[in-house]
Chains A and B, each alone.
Chain A
Amino acid sequence: MTGRVLVGVKRVIDYAVKIRVKPDHSGVVTDGVKHSMNPFCEIAVEEAVKLKEKKLIKEVVAISCGPQQVQETIRTALAMGADRGIHVEVSGKDYENLGPLQVSKILAALAKKEEASLVILGKQAIDDDCNQTGQMTAALLDWPQGTFASEVAVEGDKVKIVREIDGGLETIKVNMPAVVTADLRLNTPRYATLPNIMKAKKKKIANVKPQDLGVDLTSRVEVVRVDEPPQRQAGMKVETVDDLVGKLKEAGRI
């Protein structure tokens, strides 16, 4: 085992921003809007760094796919404790159409190239809520997967993962190499401290093109239209039960 962990980090619109749909309904407004690392990716980075601090793994590599700006996101991961970064260059229309299928192909190719022992991802991104990349990556690699992890324990060449499922918690043990996706309760990510941000500037980020990994970026999905959720209508107040019944009848509800 190389003891190398790959962590995928996605640059998304910051969770605190009020999202607005573009007037042409082709997507959401991203120009001039604050972006930051997807919160579940932060949790993934934190878990990887914790494993390194416990000396259970040797190296953390942060990966992001996108245009020049995603380097900021990789730098944040480096400031949190990742050792080096890989920037997979995707821009323009390719970036607009980039989805879990292409990203999982890229991650699978890199996992093989880097001989990773673990790939840790956020369970989903807060912009598309797909929750697919981790699962697809594991399938492409034919590796075991532990998704929605709220606890991860490396035990020799196996990983024990506690998963958050509808019925409660499920504990599984898988062989490494494996794919893990991080859920909310896995950990509380550290803030990147200023001294660490300064130190991170010296860490290396390699540039890679998807073609070099043999990945075809064609999308099988086309976004037809984006709409805001319907505006909440004001309620109406009535004085008596009879009024209530009358209004419900008027509205054809009873």
Chain B
Amino acid sequence: MTHVLLGHSRRLYQVNPFTSILTQCCKSKKDYSVKSGAQSGVLERVVSAFRSVCGDDGVSLGLAVREQHGRDESVHKCRPPDIVVFPRCVEEVSALAKICHHHRLPIIPFGTGTGLEGGVGAMKGGVCFSLRKMDRVLDLHPEDFDVTVEPGVTRKALNSYLRDTGLWFPVDPGADASLCGMAATSASGTNAVRYGTMRENVLNLEVVLADGTVIHTAGKGRRPRKTSAGYNLTNLFVGSEGTLGILTKATLRLYGIPESMVSAVCSFPSVQAAVDSTVQVLQCGVPIARIEFLDDVMIDACNRFNSLSYPVSPTLFLEFHGSERSLEEQVAITEEITKENGGSDFAWAQDEETRGRLWKARHDAWYAALALRPGSKAYSTDVCVPLSRLPQIIVETKEDLVRNKLTGPIAGHVGDGNFHCLMVMDPNDPEEVERVHQFTERLARRALAMDGTCTGEHGIGLGKRALLREEVGPLAVEVMQGLKATLDPKNLMNPGKVL
């Protein structure tokens, strides 16, 4: 039995014996039918109750389907749920949640399974709510720059839908993730420096709570661009990683597709020079859209992977958005700043093809890193620090990598002070895996010591709960636990994550 302490109320939550029986029933062999037997009379009732809500093909006990829904793109082990359900509307989500609540079954919301922190693993078994059938774009208001989407809509699908309107949703994490999933993990992308992260771009959420209650965090259908009405419930759920409720609708802030774009690349003699340039560009008021940093190890990997010949030194990839005239000005100011900081080989392009080629190195970074050691797996770290501390943390981190003989090319959203070490390792070498794990803990603590955070965009998930406590402190964690206990007293919502 596992016990999880819940802050204020100090209750002990014990693994539901019913759940462990479910887990045993379904894990023993590949069996696609409901087993008969005394205990599984309850199982049958639950499954048949689920089926009456979302149809026969809306419930799956198949091992392959459950395994699919027990893993994401992280290195965490697959933890399949006992049952996967596929609701088609918020009414079904609510009805299913009520059943789970009555039988004390854990609920794990599932969008696209593209998370990087093990957020979808069913640590205590239970029911995975796959939301992919709820895939409508609702209520687009182009003049108001807002749209409401269901959780099955991914960011690329939304931008394709919007293409006739001249609008886009700019938050672009690496994967083609579910927008509600992005809201749940408070995701961010490469252009947060100009357009913000999910926190700044979610106006309203429809949430189903653990007991099936449906709430609208800013009021049903409301979408003012700003509000000061009551507690900010919308941003309470943004980043809650499925531990407070299931997000079934998100109202998002849209932006106009910029008239024109220019991309540029520049090499620097040192990390310090690259970061100094970044800070100065921001200080000069250049509304830069993307400013990405690649260290020399990463550039070398990209050169090999794509047969390019960028100078092997710290490099910035930049992108500017705006009208033709404003672009000229932005590029001119930036080029001057980079020159003053010792930057060289400043290359820029406006037409889509050349821009694509310039940026290909940055886009393929993940694969280029993996290609350094064929057969390896990669884990991405995610710390974020104030800009002024970035040179120091990158230098210290690189020294740590060399000292411990680890492969960790660095790519980062330097405009936000956020960088990723793509730790390339042999998954079958437990010694290396352990060394990488220790390294990531040291890195997180290094960031915390510099007034930063252990996770800029990936979330806490399974692996960073202890770091969360170090980061916000025990008192803040107690407040979080109190909120959790209020919204989900039975601890059914994605147990074992975040707290």
Contact = CB atoms under 8 A, between A and B. Distances in A.
Interface string A16-52: 1000000000000000001011000000000000000
Contact of A37 (B164, B167, B257, B258): B164
B294 to A, nearest CB: 25
Contact of B323 (A36, A192, A195): A195
Contacts of B256: 193-195
Contact of A34 (B32, B157, B161, B166): B161
Most A CB within 10 A of own CB, among B161, B164, B168, B257: B164
Contacts of A16: 157, 160-161
Contacts of B160: 16
Contacts of B157: 16
A76 B164 contact: yes
Contacts of A237: 32
B200 interface: no
B164 A72 contact: yes
A205 B323 CA distance: 26
A72 B260 CA distance: 23
B347 to A, nearest CB: 21
**Which of B160, B161, B163, B352 neighbours the largest number of chain A CB atoms within 10 Å of its CB?**
B163
B61 to A, nearest CB: 14
Interface string A78-110: 010000000000000000000000000000000
B258 A192 contact: no
B376 interface: no
Given A79-B166, A188-B352, A193 B161 contact: no
B contact face: mostly helix, strand, loop, or mixed = mixed
Contacts of A196: 166, 259
Nearest to A14: B161
Contacts of A36: 163-164
A195 B259 contact: yes
Interface in B219-262: 256-260
B165 interface: yes
A34 B352 CA distance: 28
Interface string B157-179: 10011011111100000000000
Given A188-B352, A190-B352, A192-B257, A197 B161 contact: no
Interface size class of A (residues with CB under 8 A): 10 to 19
B257 A193 contact: yes
B166 A194 contact: yes
Nearest to A50: B351
Contacts of A192: 163-164, 166, 257
Nearest to A18: B135
A191 B323 contact: no
Contacts of B257: 191-194
A166 to B, nearest CB: 28
Interface string A156-198: 0000000000000000000000000000000010111111111
B160 to A, nearest CB: 6
A139 B138 CA distance: 45
A191 B168 contact: yes
Contact of B163 (A191, A195, A198): A191
Contacts of B259: 193-196
A208 B431 CA distance: 76
A56 to B, nearest CB: 15
A37 B348 CA distance: 32
Contacts of A193: 166, 256-260
* Most chain B CB atoms below 10 A, which of A16, A37, A188, A191: A191
B331 to A, nearest CB: 19
A188 B163 CA distance: 13
Contacts of A195: 166, 256, 258-259, 323
A79 B352 CA distance: 17
Interface in B317-357: 323, 352
Contacts of A79: 166
A190 B258 CA distance: 12
A78 to B, nearest CB: 12
Interface string B467-488: 0000000000000000000000
A16 B153 CA distance: 11
Interface of B: 32, 157, 160-161, 163-168, 256-260, 323, 352
Given A192-B164, A196-B259, A237-B32, 12 more contacts: A36-B163, A76-B164, A188-B352, A191-B166, A192-B257, A193-B256, A193-B257, A193-B258, A193-B260, A194-B166, A196-B166, A198-B166
6 contacts: A16-B157, A37-B164, A79-B166, A193-B260, A194-B165, A194-B167
Report, nearest first, the 8 A-B pairs whose CB atoms are least far apart: A194-B256, A194-B166, A197-B166, A193-B257, A195-B259, A193-B259, A191-B163, A192-B166
